[in-house]
Structure 1
Amino acid sequence: MTAILTVRGLHARIAGQQVVEDVSFDVAATGVTALLGRNGVGKSSTIKALLGLYERTGEITFDGERIDRLMTHRVVQRGIAYVPEDREVFGQLTVEENLRLAERGGAPNRAIVGDLFPELIQRAKQQAGTLSGGQQQMVSLSRALMNDNKLLLVDEPTKGLAPLIVGTVTKALEAAAERTPMLLVEQNLQVVRALAHTVIVLSGGRVVHTGPAAEFLDSDLVHRHLGVSTDQEAA
């Protein structure tokens, strides 16, 4: 497996408190790698540490270049896009203005927004703060997908969404992963099963399992590390 991102011995702190401890993993240069774990084990903190949003030590190599000493904006300029858990749209701005602010050099691929989320084209002049949670997630995803990125970091994209919107977002992520590799934090194991080829499981800020997604999801490791059963996943 060729890796687009290699992480070795990553430690991260928030206000002096250790939240990620000696984490090492690879993200494949194709498809979706899922970062799993119970609530509070350091998944989102790991994503933010990769971006330089938290104090960090360790080696992070992206596309052959060490980035662990770069500021966040430099990491993003290298071609890493971030879709945050809380969406972070600019509520007072329109959908169109939110997308325009996210443009980064070259020619943004606006066509992908219309292809994946035609609803946003219809709501281009609507203030983002008046959109539903699902529509705001579409805006957040669109901001990342329309630029020519080399890696997507996507944090809890289906959290709190209605089942119908979960399906729409899952299809959009699948389409995005066909052209850009993705590190996905996701609690919905049906979404993980649909998208991921590899899982990395965290517990207590450490990696406790890495392997093929299907094998993990069909084993008792799901209950051991995530506290759910395969029956609950299918429910």
Structure 2
Amino acid sequence: MTTRPDHRVPTAPENDPPDAATPILRLDGVDAFIGESHILHGVGFTVPAGQITALLGRNGAGKTTTLRSILGLVERRGSIDLDGQDVSGSTTHDVVRRGVGYVPENRDVFAGLTVAENLRLAERPGAGHRYDLVHELFPRLKERRGQRAGSMSGGEQQMLALARALLNDDNRLLLIDEPSQGLAPNLVREVAVALEQMAQLVTTVVVEQNLAVIRHMARRVVVLDQGRVVHEGSAPEFFEDEALTQELLGVHHGGAHR
């Protein structure tokens, strides 16, 4: 799959250390609450610009809550810095306006609307809209632009959710929750390829249970356990250490954690 010349961006050198990039996102001492439950406890990590950071951990570790905290979808305390600006007290609407795209775990497409209508609703006023790129990455969406989203397969709905997050060209950060969940293996591969290409344009944080998917694209990992960060560092080094992945995720090399 080729990229149109106006969408090309330089690829970072492979030998560039993950910590060398400037952070676009920094969390420091973040606590999060859902009702009376205290979910995150002093979470802190950085997300370098221009690459994929994988947010990993066992079920219930606080991964989804971390994404929702960044967006202001749950009650949170602590410092959240987005590209040099404190957004810890910002509303979800304001965080999104600052250039954050979100793909939730349940995809949240508008089932009764067509593909084209779903994308049109995602357009942010004042931004450019990358329809050519979206249709290049997900040609099925162009073919089915008049089809109601609710009648599409789970994989096609996931493509639509990713396309909505990528559409606005002023998005600087994508937060993607469980992109491969529930997909057939052939669609998992298709979504993984799209994610890699998306990450060349927009810094991405991905929550993903399938390590076989994320290990080949992530440059950095952050591991959560019971709402706390227990590991942060180079993704290749982490995935090469079978004892560490077993200890922190409860999986054998290359597996998927539950």
TM-score, reference length from structure 2: 0.89
Matched, 1:37 2:60: no
Partner of residue 175 from structure 2, selected from 138, 153, 168: 153
Q: Distance in 2 between matches of 1:112 and 1:76?
A: 21
CA distance in 2, matches of 1:209, 1:199: 8
Which stretch of the first structure deviates more once superposed, 198-207 or 103-112?
103-112
Q: Secondary structure at the match of 2:157?
A: helix
For 1:1-235, list aligned pairs within 5 A: 1=20, 2-105=22-125, 106-148=127-169, 149-219=171-241, 220-230=243-253, 232=255
> Is the partner of 1:230 in helix, strand or coil?
coil
Counting matched residue pairs gives 233
Distance of aligned partners of 1:21 and 1:96 in 2 relative to their CA distance in 1, 3 Å threshold:
same
Q: In the aligned structure 2, how far is the partner of 1:196 from the partner of 1:217?
A: 10
Alpha-carbon deviations, 1:75-121, whole Å to 9, x = none?
A: 00000110111000000000110000000023211111211110111
Q: What secondary structure is seen at the aligned counterpart in 2 of 1:217?
A: helix
Could you report, residue by residue, the CA deviation over 1:165-210 in whole angstroms, capped at 9, with x for unpaired residues? 0111111110010011111101111111111001000000000001
**What letter is aligned with 2:196?**
E
Point out the more displaced range, 149-158 or 105-114. 105-114
Counterpart of 2:244 in structure 1: which amino acid?
Answer: L
Identity %: 50
Cα deviation, 1:19-63, whole Å, max 9, x if unaligned, reads 111000000011101000001110000000110000000000001
Q: TM-score, normalised by structure 1?
A: 0.97
Contact 2:71/2:95 (<8 A) preserved = yes
CA distance in 2, matches of 1:5, 1:107: 23
Superposition deviation, residue 231 in structure 1:
5.5
Secondary structure of the corresponding residue to residue 159 of structure 1: coil
Larger mean Cα displacement after TM superposition, 103-112 or 80-89: 103-112
- Structure 2 residue runs of 5 or longer lacking an equivalent are 1-19
Q: Which amino acid aligns with 1:67?
A: V
Give the partner amino acid of 1:227: G
Deviation per CA, 1:129-177, whole angstroms, max 9, x where unpaired?
Answer: 0000000000000001111200000110011101110111111110010
**Does the CA-based 8 Å contact 2:212-2:255 persist in structure 1?**
no
| 1:28–1:94 Cα change, 3 Å | same
> 2:11 — aligned with what?
none
Distance 2:134 2:254 in 1: 35
CA distance in 2, matches of 1:103, 1:4: 23
CA offset at residue 232 of structure 1? 3.5
